[in-house]
Amino acid sequence: MLGRIFTLIYKEMLAVWRDKKSRFVLIVPPILQLMIFAMAATLDVKNVPIAILNRDEGAESYELLQRFHGSPTFSHILYLDSMHEIASAIDNQKAVMVIHIDAQFSRNLRADKTADIQFILDGRKSNTSQIVQGYASSIVNQYNRDFARRVNIPQQNTEIFPRTWYNPNLLYYWFNVPNLSGILTMLIALTVTGLSVARERELGTFDQVLVSPLQPIEILIGKTVPGIIIGLMEGSIIVAAAIWIFQIPFEGSLLLLYLSLFVFVLCIIGVGLFISSLCQTQQQAILGTFVFMTPAVTLSGYATPIENMPDWLQHATVINPLRYYLVIAKGIFLKDMPASIVFENIWPMVLIALFNLTGATWFFRRRLE
């Protein structure tokens, strides 16, 4: 029996590997995706174009604006000449923020009155503009403190000291690449298992497998193991790239990461088998894969945090294996997550894997018999 299963696994691996195009699809896109996503999928706010309309002529406003010029966040600064240009700068996305300083600014400051300035922000990009507003406000706060010290206005002697743990420079790819080790592994494992049966059905070779002495359970194992092997290989490549190419600190235990990756891949293989046994054609299998992938990725905390979702949807994400794997991947990479917390996130995946695999087995056998 073992010999038969081994032969089938060998045949499956060859089927994937011998076809030049499918070999290409397994190797090139994941690596390209890793490189492009790691760098492009960023909510960092850098090089934001801003515009300034300064109707004040005093030295005070000049000094404030110099501080904006000095900030690395704002590298493109456009000067406007009149109020009319504000709308066009924002509308045409020439600037995410317009700083408007009115003609009374310096006079008010010298007279010990509050000097108002306006930040006009592009609400079409609410995330970016809120972060830009945060930077701009901290520049103004710093200016206020320095100005008060200079003219001896009594100040409140308290200050905020921000510090970031686990990722001191807030590099987005430190968040991104560990996450991609889950997402791209999922994509590959799902494609390999989800499509394998459908492709054989279309080519007619599945009937040949069925008339062979192989038991349904043996066919199932033969179809599952290649997906696991390829998935784990993919995951290893990404983890290696994270450590050596992206130089992301790896604080935790490699063993725990592999254990989690293995359980995670089992969950995904279960889904893949479901898709495989349900679908008659490759096209259906591709759609099935897609219909599973999109919600799984969107609702995993990768694109946007789970805690931003409505409550009922947050509860629904407990059946999403990717959600647990992402917590573990980031935890082991960046936070040196202790084994106890890793296991808190592994056991739900174990349950999902058991459910998926037994369900898929039952379903698969029923379809075969």
Q: Of 322-361, which residues contact other proteins (CB under 8 A)? A: 327, 330-331, 334-338, 341, 344
Tracing tokens 């033969």 back to the chain, one arrives at: 222
Q: Closer to other proteins by CB, 21 or 211: give it.
A: 21
Q: Which two tokens stand for residue 134?
A: 């945060």
Of 134-193, binders to other proteins (CB under 8 A) are: 134, 136-138, 140-141, 143-144, 147-148, 153-168, 170-172, 174-175, 191
Residue pair 252/242 in contact by the 8 Å Cβ criterion: no
Tell me 241's DSSP state. I
Smallest gap from Cβ 4 to other proteins, in A, equals: 26
Contact window for other proteins (CB under 8 A) among 224-232, 260-268, 296-304, 353-361 = 296-304
Compare residues 134 and 212 and give the one whose CB is closer to other proteins: 134
In the complex, minimum distance from the CB of residue 170 to other proteins, in angstroms, rounded to a whole number: 4
- Token pair in block for residue 230: 């390829």
**Count of chain residues binding other proteins (CB under 8 A):** 111
Is residue 21 at the binding interface for other proteins, with CB under 8 A as the rule?
yes
Query: Site for other proteins (CB under 8 A): which residue of 39, 59, 83, 339?
Result: 39
Residue closer to other proteins (CB basis): 39 or 354: 39
- For residue 207, what are the contacts with CB-CB under 8 A and spacing of at least 6? none
CB of 284 to other proteins, least distance (A): 6
Residue 5 or 175 having the CB closest to other proteins: 175
Structure tokens at 199: 């492709």
Residues between 204 and 223 that touch other proteins (CB under 8 A): none
Q: Count CA within 13 A, CB hemisphere, residue 218.
A: 15
Beta bridge partners, 49, equal: 76
User: Is residue 40 a contact partner of residue 178, using CB atoms and an 8 Å limit?
Assistant: no
Piece of the chain touching other proteins by CB under 8 A; list 39-47, 222-230, 266-274, 358-366: 39-47
H or E element at residue 362 = helix 339-368
CA distances from 316 to 284, 296, 311 (A): 25, 11, 9
Q: Of 330, 334, 356, 355, nearest to 345 (Cα)?
A: 330
Range 56-61 contact pairs with CB under 8 angstroms and sequence separation of 24 or more: 56/101, 56/102, 56/103, 56/104, 56/105, 56/106, 57/103, 57/106, 58/105, 58/106, 58/107, 58/109, 58/110, 59/106, 60/105, 60/106, 60/109, 60/110, 60/115, 60/147, 61/101, 61/105, 61/106
Residues 6 or more apart in contact with residue 199 via CB below 8 angstroms? 282
> What is the smallest separation between the CB atom of 23 and other proteins, expressed in angstroms?
10
Q: How far is the CB of 46 from other proteins (least distance, A)?
A: 5
Least distance CB 25 / other proteins (angstroms): 4
Beta carbon nearer to other proteins, 77 or 171: 171
Round to whole Å and give the CA distance between 327 and 182: 10
Distance separating alpha carbons of residues 4 and 246, to the nearest angstrom: 42
Q: Does 37 bind other proteins (CB under 8 A)?
A: yes
Nearer to other proteins (CB atom), residue 5 or residue 329: 329
Which stretch in 19-27, 210-218, 230-238, 258-266 sits in contact with other proteins by CB under 8 A?
19-27
Does the footprint of other proteins cover residue 69 (CB under 8 A)? Answer: no
Verify binding: residue 264, other proteins, rule CB under 8 A.
Answer: no
By CB under 8 A, the residues from 297 to 316 that bind other proteins are 298-299, 303-305, 307-310, 313
- Closest distance to other proteins from the beta carbon of 217 (Å): 26
71-130: contacts with other proteins (CB under 8 A): 88, 90-93, 109, 112, 114-130
CB of 219 to other proteins, least distance (A): 20
Burial string for 322-357 (b: 16+ CB within 10 Å, else e) reads bbbbbbbbbbbbbeebeeeebeebbebbeebbeebb
Structure tokens at 137: 């406000």
Least Å from the CB of residue 132 to other proteins: 10
Q: Residue 7 or residue 42: which is nearer to other proteins going by CB?
A: 42
